[in-house]
């Protein structure tokens, strides 16, 4: 098995367990993971600590303590597999059980910061960091990207609802503690990480609905902007307050907000940092509908169900056409639309849709 990363292995202080746990620093995310307690010995980097490398876990057994190789006893489905995993994927697959920051302080213990539930072909991705009002930090972003990548490759999922845990916030913004410690290089890295994840969401081939309850500020507002549709509860509040911190939106807010609400209102919201309530957000086109807070989850599922009952190939290509048109001049966008229209005419789903309409029955789309 192969795990991507770099760093130096350490024993875990204060443990008397016969099976050693190990911390691994993961490149780019600046987090440490602790391998599952099924490890015998400690996994070390194949080419020495502190270098970018592939870490190979050999089948050789070792005692507790720092060693260059050790044996991991994995479940049958992972045994003998060769995997190249980022931190979020490794966590979601149960290969890491705990996370520590660079100071060795636990930031996660057996509980994911982003969870995925699938029901009736709709995935619900929930950011669950309630004590911090679901604020974004590098670990949350890493897990969020992993969650979306796992859903993208799941053929059983036709649509995604993105929401935040708890009653107070969708996502209240970026983690101020992280922002306070960044230098110029770190700020660029943080911005690029968030932009990459949000671009993944905006370009996602399956429809994504943001179910926004409570605060969606800063990075939270930018996250909602990256989704294809937005449904807000009556207590929702939106804003980009970064200028009040001496910053600007760094996850795409200065680009996406104007596309939704118009240049004038986007500039006003960005320069004043003002919050807008749900009613104002609906009036200016930031959200599609407002629902009572206790109905947000059910109404989000109802809305997504209206989308997922349509032809899945048509939905995917419609999204592609709409977002492609934002990046090119109108003539090229129209050519692209016509090409996709022609492509759909050759699908089984189109024939099924037209036949079902003529026969006055619900269509049975197969996604091909």
Please answer whether residues 125 and 114 qualify as being in contact, where contact means their C-beta atoms are separated by less than 8 angstroms.
Answer: yes
One-character DSSP codes across 147-181: HHHHHHT-TT--EEEEEESSSSEEE--B-HHHHHT
pTM for this model (two decimals): 0.70
> In angstroms, rounded to a whole number, what is the distance separating the alpha carbons of residues 143 and 160?
16
Give the CATH architecture of domain 112-308: Alpha-Beta Complex (3.90)
Type and span of the H or E element at 54: strand 53-56
Question: Average model confidence (pLDDT) for the chain?
Answer: 75
Nearest C-alpha neighbor of 99 from the set 192, 3, 177, 30: 30
pLDDT tens-digit profile of 183-225? 898 889 889 999 999 999 999 999 999 999 999 999 999 999 9
Select 312-358's CATH number: 1.10.12, 2.60.40, 1.10.3470, 1.25.40.
Answer: 1.10.12
Q: Would you say residue 346 has pLDDT above 60?
A: yes
* Max Cα distance, the chain (Å): 71
Residues known to be catalytic = 222, 242
**CA quadruple 184, 186, 189, 193: dihedral positive or negative?**
negative
Q: Where are the domains of the chain?
A: 1-110, 112-308, 312-358
Bridge partners, residue 5, by sequence: 53
Q: Give pLDDT tens digits for 216-265.
A: 999 999 999 999 999 999 999 999 999 999 999 999 999 999 999 999 99
129 to 121, 123, 140, 163, 221: CA distances (angstroms)? 25, 19, 9, 12, 16
Helix (H, G, I), strand (E, B) or coil at 125: strand
212 bridge partner residues: 232
Given a cut of 90, is residue 312 above it in pLDDT? Answer: yes
Query: Residue 316: pLDDT band by 50, 70, 90 thresholds?
Result: very high
């Amino acid at each position: 098995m192969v795990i991507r990363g770099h760093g130096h292995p350490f024993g875990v202080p204060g443990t008397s367990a016969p099976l050693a746990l190990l911390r691994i620093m993961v490149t780019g995310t600046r987090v440490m993971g602790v391998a599952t307690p099924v490890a015998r010995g400690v996994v070390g980097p194949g080419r020495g600590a502190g270098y970018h490398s592939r870490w190979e876990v050999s089948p050789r057994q070792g005692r507790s303590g720092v060693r260059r190789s050790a044996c991991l006893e994995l479940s049958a489905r992972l045994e003998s597999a060769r995997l190249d995993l980022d931190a979020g994927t490794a966590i979601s697959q149960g290969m890491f059980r705990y996370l520590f920051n660079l100071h060795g302080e636990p930031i996660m213990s057996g509980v994911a910061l982003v969870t995925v539930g699938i029901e009736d072909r709709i995935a619900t991705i929930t950011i669950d960091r309630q004590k911090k009002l679901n604020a974004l930090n590098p670990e949350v972003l890493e897990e969020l990207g992993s969650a979306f990548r796992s859903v993208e490759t799941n053929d059983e999922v036709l649509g995604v609802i993105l929401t935040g845990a708890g009653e107070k916030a969708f996502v209240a913004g970026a983690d101020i503690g992280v922002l306070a410690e960044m230098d110029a290089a770190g700020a660029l890295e943080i911005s690029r990480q968030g932009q990459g994840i949000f671009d993944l969401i905006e370009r996602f081939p399956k429809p994504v609905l943001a179910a926004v309850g409570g605060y969606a500020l800063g990075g939270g507002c930018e996250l909602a902007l990256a989704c294809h549709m937005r449904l807000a509860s009556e207590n929702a509040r939106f804003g980009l307050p970064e200028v009040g911190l001496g910053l600007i939106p760094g996850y795409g807010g200065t680009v996406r907000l104007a596309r939704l609400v118009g240049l004038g209102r986007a500039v006003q919201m960005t320069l004043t940092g003002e919050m807008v309530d749900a009613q104002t957000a609906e009036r200016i086109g930031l959200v599609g509908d407002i629902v009572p807070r206790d109905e947000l989850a059910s109404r989000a599922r109802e809305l997504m169900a209206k989308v997922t009952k349509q032809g899945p190939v048509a939905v995917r290509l419609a999204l592609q056409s709409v977002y492609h048109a934002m990046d090119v001049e109108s003539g090229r966008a129209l050519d692209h639309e016509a090409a996709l229209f022609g492509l759909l005419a050759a699908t089984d789903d189109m024939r099924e849709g037209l036949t079902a309409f003529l026969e006055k029955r619900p269509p049975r789309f197969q996604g091909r």
